[in-house]
Amino acid sequence: MNSSSPIRLQTGDALIAVDVQNDFLPGGSLAVPEGDAVVPALNRYLAAFAARALPVYATRDWHPAKHCSFKAQGGIWPPHCIAATPGAEFALALALPETAAIVSKAATPEADSYSGFGGTDLAARLHAGGVRRLFIGGLATDYCVLNTVRDALAGGFAVLLLADAIRAVDVKAGDGARALGEMQQRGARPIRYEELAP
């Protein structure tokens, strides 16, 4: 396949917006540098999917107050995305359609999951909807996007990675670039919005 040929959205495609939540945006408790840049970028894809009535899924961290990933419980992160708090809400400017399917993850104290597939019914919902190809973007490149892409590919989905709608935490310099390389090596194809057929 010619990688420069336009990408036509079609039946069997779905968009997954990964963890575009206030705590991961600038000003949030676990802010991703330039995390807010994914919002307008994702909105363009969301409009394209809406125009074709294609399904959209939005994953979210949905942690209890004493979650195992928080430092006080021995984890590595500050408290973030505590269920039903403002920090856990999707970015206000994210134009999710009414019909978007919400996928909550890591919602019990002892379980964490960077992947939208971990401990959720996401795979079953995608299969039930006849989804074969996933367009994945959101936050953060080197954690929840990476792990969601890994699981999607392992589960047999084709993955188009929205390279213009992801941002990395980069706890260690270069983490985001390494994650991008790994996702490509595993078979994800990075795309930009301009590559979509009009």
- Residue 164 binds Zn ion, judged by CB under 5 A: no
- Residues with Cβ within 8 Å of 34's Cβ and at least 6 positions away in sequence, in order, are 26, 167
105 is catalytic: yes
Are 114 and 70 contacting, i.e. CB atoms less than 8 angstroms apart?
Answer: no
| Least distance between Zn ion and beta carbon 23 (Å) | 9
Are 169 and 31 contacting, i.e. CB atoms less than 8 angstroms apart?
Answer: no
- Of the residues 19, 36, 61, 164, which is catalytic? 19
The CB-nearest residue to Zn ion is: 61
Q: Report which residue type is found at 184.
A: Q
Q: Which two tokens stand for residue 61?
A: 């961290």
- Of the residues 36, 81, 105, 142, which is catalytic? 105
- Residues with Cβ within 8 Å of 131's Cβ and at least 6 positions away in sequence, in order, are 12, 13, 14, 55, 157
- Of the residues 13, 81, 142, 144, which is catalytic? 144
Interface pick for Zn ion out of 13, 23, 36, 61 (rule CB under 5 A): 61
| Least distance between Zn ion and beta carbon 89 (Å) | 14
- Residue 19 binds Zn ion, judged by CB under 5 A: no
User: Segment contacting Zn ion (CB under 5 A): 20-28, 56-64, 88-96, 185-193?
Assistant: 56-64
In 3-state terms the chain splits into helix, strand, coil percentages (rounded to 5) of 30, 25, 45
Which parts of this chain interact with Zn ion (CB under 5 A)? 61
Catalytic residues: 19, 105, 144
